[in-house]
Structure 1
Amino acid sequence: MGQGFEVMVMAPDDEYSAYLQQSGCRFIPLHFNNKTENPVADLAFYRQLKALYRQHRPDFIFHYVAKPNIYGSLAAAAIGIPSVAVITGLGYPFAKRNWLFQVVKQLYKRALRKTREVWFLNNEDAKIFINEHIVNIEKVKVLPGEGIDTEYFSFGNHSAKKESEPFTFLMSTRLLKSKGIGLYADAARILKKKNYSVRFELIGFFEQHHPDSISRDDLDRWQKEGLIHYGGFAKDVRPFLRRADCFVFPSFYNEGIPRCLMEAACMELPVITSNNRGCKEVVLNNATGFLCHVHDPFDLADKMEKILNLPAEERSRLGRQGRALVIKKFDIRHVIDEYVATLNADWAE
């Protein structure tokens, strides 16, 4: 961007580390598990961050996901480095409201006192943190999602669909129950029984040991029934989006702003998603796609049938309007401007 900032990324060392370095980032490997509930491991993570911050002395830190937001904010404050916590979604603990929620709530409450600001991706997440007295409204900023590269995710050259090819729905997501995969399979079963020539594709990765993960047995059963065609994990989702006629995401997860919805809409696909926080921000009902009831496979099937029966020209119109909405609200340049403004304001103080 030519803004004069050096970007340092601390993250687990994986197959994407090289991409960060190729992009010009300075990469520092970090060891942590965002899913563990082990307090000893969490203490070790806090100490690791504190040591790294003391060693590398960044001028400003942005934290993402729960544990870095909590322990990273505390570590940064201990050394006197200003930071922002970016809450990209409330996730599993806030859905269950059990003992883990109470623990996470108190940890967030303590940690976020130390940050300059707390950024959210939708108003409802921000409202929950304020109503639960986790953070003061004065610190809150709501971003237009995490942003998306609207040039990378572009319509491109869709090949004309042959008449013999079935209508294709696509769902791309982490393979968690709360993302609505079971609802997708149930809606597929409803439509199959109406004798539509339809293909239901699913891509995404399993999160081993996640308490909300779907089982491989369920996935195998859906495939054997001919309901779902599972394509595994895709590093590049664009070829799948180009082949699809409609994107489906019936999530009841505590979403921030789902990247999969922004990607699909940006590729000019009509979208069906649930009337759920985060999801409904990306879809204008009856204008760029359809909103369905949460936890309702029959309403989801109705919306899918509605898309099926639309003229191709009308589906194309929904897709074009969806891309226009993403460019207006969620273009990555809007989000980068927020980061630059925050850093420049901090230097001016």
Structure 2
Amino acid sequence: MYSKGRAHKLIAFVSNSAWSVYNFRLDVIRDLMANGFEVMVLAPDDEYSAYLKESGCRFIPLDFNNKTKNPVAELAFYRQLRSLYREHRPDFIFHYVAKPNIYGSLAAAAIGIPSVAVITGLGYPFAKRNWLYHVVKQLYKKALRKTREVWFLNNEDAKIFINEHIVNIEKVKVLPGEGVDTDYFSNPHRGARKESEPFTFLMSTRLLKSKGISLYADAARILKKKNYAVRFELIGFFEQHHPDSISREDLDRWHKEGLIHYGGFAKDVRPFLQRADCFVFPSFYNEGVPRCLMEAASMELPVITSNNRGCKEVVVNNTTGFLCHVHDPFDLADKMEKVINLPAEERLRLGRNGRALVIKKFNIRNVIDEYVATLNADWAE
């Protein structure tokens, strides 16, 4: 292993955005640094790279387009990672999302650095099953042979990789999502809604079609026609060049119809969760375990989400919220209407049950322990 003489082990986190590392893995990073590790983050530069530096990380900007399918660009990305790994010599690397998982795992192996690939969700190639799927499958197959372990966020994703012979079951570990800090996401003063205030639904997500935003708007339209005095809030950020992004025109049209109140991007979602009566997430994306669902449930909100891979991991139907049919705005509206008409005490009970589930199953401490155990096992060899 490299840098055996270094006083502090250097751990690298490699992803497709500084935002995702900050939003999903900062608790893990802080814990590692508190226990004497150095942490280096490699990701495309964005406004969150400064926050990572302020948290004590070393930040290395990456130059790559996560959406391109150009083989020349892919080769350049592999070479860029290999060069950076050779220069900075991390002792262990965690890769996230497809391209870092594939090209980063290959680059780490070329230099002899141990790594883990974290499959945060299967995304578009596994949904379409077209030529791209077959290319990605073969690339994954080659890259994952080189890793110490392959981590998944739900059993279904792991099963697909095993059944498709992409990875051997011996390497597989299934995490309880990426975890959530249940102390930070808590609402100890949640009580019954004031009757003078409109019932408020909230959806917080990347503004992609496959997250079910148009289904949310259609369900809002259905409920508005039943004369419910209800507010439908949406927060999240646009990914302008993403092929699945919703359009500004759609958002403006829904706003003019009085269906959706768009609150922009919120760095801190907790004030929105505190004001809401129910969280809605009708995604049909190939999710890992959506962070937004864990945050909402941890804040004691009843949750309505689709009976979809990853989403259904966070909701116990009729106990912490409700599962709706995928791609079905009428069933979604039905579940939303059910929540509106529940007695206040029953909604509070659903929320309390949801928080208890998150504390038991998705607490960030459980995830941190997996990272530490993996690192300790590596250096014990």
State the alpha-carbon separation in 1 of the partners of residues 236 and 188 from structure 2: 23
Deviation string for 1:216-256 (max 9, x for gaps)? 22111111111111111111111111110000000110000
Residue of 246, 256, 266 corresponding to 2:298: 266
Matched residues, number = 349
SS of 1:280's equivalent in the other structure is helix
Deviating more after overlay: 98-107 vs 25-34: 25-34
**Structure 1 residue 59 corresponds to structure 2 residue 72:** no
Residue of 328, 339, 342 corresponding to 2:371: 339
* TM-fit CA distance, 1:18: 2.2
RMSD after superposition? 1.2
State the alpha-carbon separation in 1 of the partners of residues 88 and 351 from structure 2: 46
Residue number in structure 2 paired with 1:10: 42
Residue number in structure 2 paired with 1:68: 100
SS of 2:312's equivalent in the other structure is coil
Residue number in structure 1 paired with 2:343: 311
Deviation string for 1:34-75 (max 9, x for gaps)? 112122111111111001000011111000011100000000
**Conserved 8 A contact 2:191-2:348:** no
Q: How does 1:42-53 map to 2 (within 5 A)?
A: 42-53=74-85
Residue number in structure 1 paired with 2:207: 175
* TM-fit CA distance, 1:111: 0.7
Q: Which runs of 5+ in 1 are unaligned?
A: none
* TM-fit CA distance, 1:326: 0.5
SS of 2:159's equivalent in the other structure is helix
Residue number in structure 2 paired with 1:82: 114
Deviation string for 1:158-186 (max 9, x for gaps)? 58743221100000111111111111111
**Structure 1 residue 150 corresponds to structure 2 residue 182:** yes
Residue number in structure 2 paired with 1:326: 358
Residue of 251, 255, 272 corresponding to 1:240: 272
State the alpha-carbon separation in 1 of the partners of residues 242 and 129 from structure 2: 17
**Conserved 8 A contact 2:190-2:300:** no
Residue of 312, 315, 318 corresponding to 1:283: 315
Residue number in structure 2 paired with 1:138: 170
SS of 2:85's equivalent in the other structure is helix
State the alpha-carbon separation in 1 of the partners of residues 366 and 122 from structure 2: 23
Residue number in structure 2 paired with 1:348: 380
**Structure 1 residue 21 corresponds to structure 2 residue 53:** yes
With over 3 angstroms needed to count, the CA separation of the structure-2 counterparts of 1:159 and 1:302, relative to structure 1, is closer
* TM-fit CA distance, 1:21: 2.0
* TM-fit CA distance, 1:22: 2.4
**Structure 1 residue 187 corresponds to structure 2 residue 219:** yes
* TM-fit CA distance, 1:191: 0.6
SS of 1:155's equivalent in the other structure is coil
State the alpha-carbon separation in 1 of the partners of residues 51 and 244 from structure 2: 30
**Conserved 8 A contact 1:158-1:243:** no
Deviation string for 1:114-152 (max 9, x for gaps)? 111100000000011111111111111000000111111
State the alpha-carbon separation in 2 of the partners of residues 95 and 88 from structure 1: 15
**Conserved 8 A contact 1:119-1:142:** yes
**Matched letter for residue 113 of structure 1:** R
State the alpha-carbon separation in 1 of the partners of residues 332 and 375 from structure 2: 43
**Matched letter for residue 124 of structure 2:** Y
State the alpha-carbon separation in 1 of the partners of residues 188 and 79 from structure 2: 47
SS of 1:254's equivalent in the other structure is coil
* TM-fit CA distance, 1:23: 2.1
**Structure 1 residue 212 corresponds to structure 2 residue 244:** yes
* TM-fit CA distance, 1:300: 0.6
**Matched letter for residue 131 of structure 2:** W
